[in-house]
Copies of this chain bind each other. A is one copy, B any other.
Amino acid sequence: MSTLVDDDLWSAVGDPTRRRMIDLLLADGDGTATSLSERLPVTRQAVAKHLAVLDRVGLVHASTAGRERRYRVDDEQLARAVRQLNAVGSAWDSRMDRIKRIAESIQRTNDENTRRTDEKNE
């Protein structure tokens, strides 16, 4: 089964700057393009574009307060993203486990068959 992943959601959290923005928004409760840009190595306009991306996939939503535009994380959607991270991680983990187990069983089979192979070669 393929993992049924929302690529837009993944790509949204795949960007390092956006991931840090989510960290900051979670730590502070909310934030604006300006306030976030002061704590990130990019300009306010770059942050604004990232906020637009996060908004499009529903990871944040904005509310206008006077001359400010405050953004807040959407818990529901972030929880969905976390579930997908875990799902992919689990899928990879189990596949690696399976291969590891197969490798071990081959090792055992080789050990058991060493003698027989010698006999067969004549």
Contact = CB atoms under 8 A, between A and B. Distances in A.
B96 A26 contact: yes
Interface string A63-90: 0000000000101101101100110110
Given A14-B14, A19-B10, A99 B120 contact: no
Number of this chain's copies in the assembly equals 2
Given A10-B14, A11-B14, A78-B96, A5 B27 contact: no
10 closest A-B pairs by beta carbon, nearest first, are A14-B14, A26-B95, A82-B89, A7-B16, A85-B89, A85-B85, A58-B117, A75-B96, A76-B114, A82-B92
23 contacts: A2-B20, A3-B23, A5-B16, A7-B16, A10-B16, A11-B15, A11-B16, A13-B88, A19-B88, A23-B91, A26-B99, A56-B120, A58-B117, A75-B99, A75-B100, A76-B114, A78-B92, A78-B96, A79-B93, A82-B89, A82-B92, A85-B86, A85-B88
Interface of A: 2-3, 5, 7, 10-11, 13-16, 19-20, 22-23, 26-27, 29, 56, 58, 73, 75-76, 78-79, 81-82, 85-86, 88-89, 91-93, 95-96, 99-100, 114, 117, 120
